[in-house]
Amino acid sequence: MVGRIFLRQVPWCWVFNLIYYRKACHDRQALINSERMKPLTSTRFPVIDSLRTLALALMITYHLIYDLDQWTGLAVDVDALFWFSIGKTAALLFIFLSGLSSGFSKHPLKNGLRVLFFGMIITLVTYVVFPEQYVRFGILHFLGVMMVLYPLIQKLPNGVLILGSVLIIAGGLIIKDQAVNTPLLLPLGFMYPGFATMDFYPLFPYSGVTLLGVLCYRYFFAEHSRTNASVPPAEKSKAAYPMVTWVSRHSLWIYLIHQPILLGLIFALKAIAIIS
């Protein structure tokens, strides 16, 4: 009898609320744990996005000057130190950031093969349009190969990477003036007599710059990838730097389409006699 009275007097809504509250707390804790365990690919670093956007801006500026020199009557010395420095700085930034970003990549082999595919498309297009100086081993070929090799590179200790980067850069500066009688060694940096190309970034010395990027990741970003501490989430990065984040995310596509757009604009301006 007492048991029945007790059951009738218990406010069952409290019981249901308590069960719901405990379940909600459990779900919330599970969500927090899952967020902590997420890989760093869901997080963006504004400094990396900003540097990649800067590299794109420098590259587009250099290519615009190059195209104006090649396809219009404007006399621009693209080999002058100022313009040369802009183009080379852009390329070195891309190469360095590729090594740095490889530490965040979950699928370096897949990404590398994709970049290599686009590099081969550029080879085919430039072979048809510019057969005398088509791209054999340009920056996309280089970046693709280094991405494919990253699973091996990441196993090397820091000391080996430091020594390797120094030796590779020094060796590349030495062999760049060494001519061989075969094109098979072009990816390593050995050129053959009469070699001419629009874009050439061999493994020596530029893979040394990639290794420096990998070292930068290990010393300054790897700890964040393990703890996710003090790292602005992607949403915060997007809110603060919407355009920079978008440009950085789509840098490969911007690289692929910027030259056709520049050339299209130049030829359109020539057609309406704005430039000669």
Overall domain count for the chain:
1
Nearest to 202 by CA among 170, 172, 222, 229: 172
On the question of pLDDT at 12 being above 50, the answer is no
Tell me the C-alpha distance between 150 and 105, whole Å. 10
Distance of CA 108 to the CA centre of its chain: 11
In-domain check, residue 33: no
Query: What pLDDT was estimated at residue 121?
Result: 97
Distance (Å, rounded) from C-alpha 121 to C-alpha 216? 31
For 200, the domain range is: 46-271
| Residue 24 belongs to a domain | no
In this structure, is residue 28 part of a structural domain? no
Question: Does residue 41 sit within a domain?
Answer: no
Q: What is the mean pLDDT of residues 31-42?
A: 43
Where residue 202 falls among pLDDT bands split at 50, 70, 90? very high
Task: Report the number of secondary-structure helices (H) and strands (E) in the chain.
Answer: 12, 0
pTM to 2 decimal places: 0.80
Residue 149 has pLDDT above 70, yes or no: yes
Q: Look at residue 32 and tell me if it is in a domain.
A: no
CA-CA distance, 188 to 34, in Å (whole number)? 44
Provide the pLDDT confidence category of residue 43 given band limits of 50, 70 and 90: low
Residue at token pair 């693709």: 144
Find the mean pLDDT for residues 64-72: 92
Does 214 fall in a domain? Answer: yes
Which position has the higher pLDDT, 11 or 48?
Answer: 48
Region 1-8 average pLDDT: 44
182 assigned to some structural domain: yes
- pLDDT value at position 4? 47
Residue 16 within a domain: no
